[in-house]
Each structure stands twice: as structure tokens, then as C-alpha cells.
A and B are shown apart, each in its own frame.
Chain A
Amino acid sequence: MVERYLRQSPLAHLGLDGRAQAVRGESGVAMSEQPFRGIVNLRVQPDDSEAMAALESALGFALPVEPNTTAASATALAFWLGPDEWWIVTPGPEPESGPNMAVTLRTALTDRRGAVTDVSDSRTCIRISGPRARDLLCKGMPLDLHPRVFPSGCCAQSHLAKTGVVLHLIAEDGPTFELYVLRSFAEYLWLWLEDAAREYGLTITSS
């Protein structure tokens, strides 16, 4: 685990607090970083009903088995990533939140087949909201983000501006998206988004 005082978000050097600005006139898009979330990668066979039940009682909710969907409680958010793969995201920012979740899941899977890997610091999260958020994402993404196809609560792994991302629509109202990007790509993607959002009027907020 990283020492608290050494912990730095991959966008820290951009000084987002200092960049925080509101545009004059209409703001079509608002962006912020949501750093330091805990992320745990979970692999388990969905037809192993004992393991799935143990995970459900550990999490307090059932893992989503419907493709491209999420499930959540107040303390954890589960992403369907594949037929036997999930992410369990914790809000952070405590550095222990990811490792603690990994321990919880590993305990639930005691003597059962599965894999639990803490990948918290591999990625950061960027929140994008506003009436033009969809237009902004569509500039660099092949996903169909129409509400009929990609409603609130949906998630998908895809690519944005050639960078692999996990996209999550947290609320149709707004709409508000969150995307998870590998930390070494975070600066590139943030600057790409800033540039692409300029024509819509961009507000940057500190997280």
C-alpha cells in the first residue's frame, strides 16, 4: 500500500484546482477528477452458485450478470466487465478502501475458485456531465450512447481517443458519466477532453 503522504493522483501535476474555471455564457460540459477510488478486479464463474451467494452476502447485493450493467450499495459499485469478470469499486479516498474490499471478497471466496486482485491505483476516474457530455464522448468513442441503448446504470469497456476506458452512465439526469482510465493515459485523455469540450463551453471543477 502507498504511504498516504506519497499518494498523488495521476492528474495532480495539471493542477486541476487552479484550472478550475467556469465559462462565461453557456456551459455544455463540466469535468472533474474523482481520484483515489478503490478498484478490485474479481474473477469467478457465474454458474458457481455457492461462490455467487457468498459474494452477495459479503457485498450486500448480487453481482450484475446482465452484460454492460452495474449494481451498487452505498459503499460499493460493481461493474460487469465480462461473463466471469467484475470490478468492485469503492468510493475512497482512504488508501485502505481498495485493499479492504479485496480482503472482504477473498474471505468470501475462501476454498472456492476465483481470483481477487486489487487494482486501485492503476486508474483514475474522470466525471463528465452536462447537456453536451454525450456529444463530447461521441467525438472519440464508437459506442452507441443513445439513452435507448445505453441507459442510466449502464457500463461498457471501449476506447476513447484510442485509449481504453471503462465508461459508466451514473445518471440520465444531466447526464453524468464517469470514465476510468489507466493512470499513464490520464493526462493525455484529460487534455484531449479539455480540447474537445472547448466548443461546448467547459467548466472544470475540483473534485
Chain B
Amino acid sequence: MLLIPCPYCGERAESEFSYGGEAHIARPADPEKTSDADWADYLYTRTNTKGVYFERWMHAHGCRRWFNIARHTVSYDILAVYETGAPPPKFDTKSEV
């Protein structure tokens, strides 16, 4: 089980959280003018990174706030926790731990 540092409540067990998938995926500004291929890409294509991954989590059994985590998908190390809307911290996303 991961120990996730909620930016509001502090360290809590993973079972208190729900997972929101990859972070920083912008919704196309004008869906009417977006091609089906681009829309499908927005909906379904994710990077499936081996390395540092930016993802959304929600503290479902706690403060019920969304926030972002930078997590290494090999070691599961949580390298950064930051607020929704903040830019992702800089990492070499291909680095192995």
C-alpha cells in the first residue's frame, strides 16, 4: 500500500484515495472543430510512462480534494505532490531509479 502525502491532510494510506489517471491532459479548446481522431486521442491515449509519471489523485475518504502526484512507475516512489492547476515539476521522465 502506498503512503500518500495529501497536500491538505498529510500522510494517509492509499485506501483513502481514488485514482484519477494521467494529469495535465488539456481538453481541446473547441470540441466542435476537433477531429474525431484528435478527440479520441484526448479521451483515450495516455503515455504509459516507465519512469516519472504525473497523475491525479483524490482524497475520497478524507478532504475530498483533487491534487497531482509525480510518481515513479518502477519504484513507486512519490517524488512530488502539488496542487491541481500548478505546472508539473521538472524531472527527467525517462530516468530509472
**CB of B65 to closest CB in A, whole Å:** 6
Q: Which range contains the number of A residues in contact with the other chain? A: 10 to 19
Interface membership of B61, Cβ < 8 A:
yes
Pick the contact of B9: A142, A156, A159, A164 (CB < 8 A).
A156
**Contact (Cβ within 8 A) A82 B13:** no
In chain A, positions 95-124 with a C-beta closer than 8 Å to chain B are none
**Contact (Cβ within 8 A) A157 B15:** no
**Contact (Cβ within 8 A) A158 B62:** yes
**Chain A binding site: helix, strand, loop or mixed by DSSP?**
strand
Given the complex of chains A and B, what is the CA–CA distance between A67 and B65 in angstroms? 13
A residues near B, CB below 8 A? 67-68, 81-83, 85, 142-143, 156-159, 164
Closest B residue to A164 by CB, please name it: B61
**0 or 1 for each of B45-65: is its CB under 8 Å from A? (1 = yes):** 000000000000000011111
**Chain B binding site: helix, strand, loop or mixed by DSSP?**
loop
Interface residue count on the B side (C-beta < 8 Å): 13
**Contact (Cβ within 8 A) A82 B64:** yes
**Contact (Cβ within 8 A) B16 A82:** no
Interface membership of B71, Cβ < 8 A:
no
Given the complex of chains A and B, what is the CA–CA distance between A83 and B62 in angstroms? 11
| Nearest 9 A/B pairs, CB to CB | A142-B13, A82-B63, A159-B61, A157-B62, A83-B8, A164-B61, A67-B9, A142-B15, A158-B61
Given A67-B10, A68-B9, A156 and B15 contact (CB-CB distance below 8 Å): no
**Interfacial chain B residues near A142, Cβ < 8 Å:** 1, 12-13, 15-16
Given the complex of chains A and B, what is the CA–CA distance between A155 and B38 in angstroms? 46
**Interfacial chain A residues near B10, Cβ < 8 Å:** 67-68
**Interfacial chain A residues near B65, Cβ < 8 Å:** 82-83
**Contact (Cβ within 8 A) A157 B13:** no
**Interfacial chain B residues near A81, Cβ < 8 Å:** 63
**CB of A4 to closest CB in B, whole Å:** 33
In chain B, positions 11-47 with a C-beta closer than 8 Å to chain A are 12-13, 15-16
**Interfacial chain B residues near A159, Cβ < 8 Å:** 15-16, 61
**CB of B13 to closest CB in A, whole Å:** 3
Given A83-B63, A164-B61, A158 and B16 contact (CB-CB distance below 8 Å): yes
Q: Return 25 A-B CB contacts under 8 Å, by A number.
A: A67-B10, A68-B9, A81-B63, A82-B8, A82-B9, A82-B63, A82-B65, A83-B63, A83-B65, A85-B63, A142-B1, A142-B12, A142-B15, A143-B12, A143-B13, A156-B62, A157-B61, A157-B62, A157-B63, A158-B12, A158-B61, A158-B62, A159-B15, A159-B16, A159-B61
Given the complex of chains A and B, what is the CA–CA distance between A171 and B95 in angstroms? 48
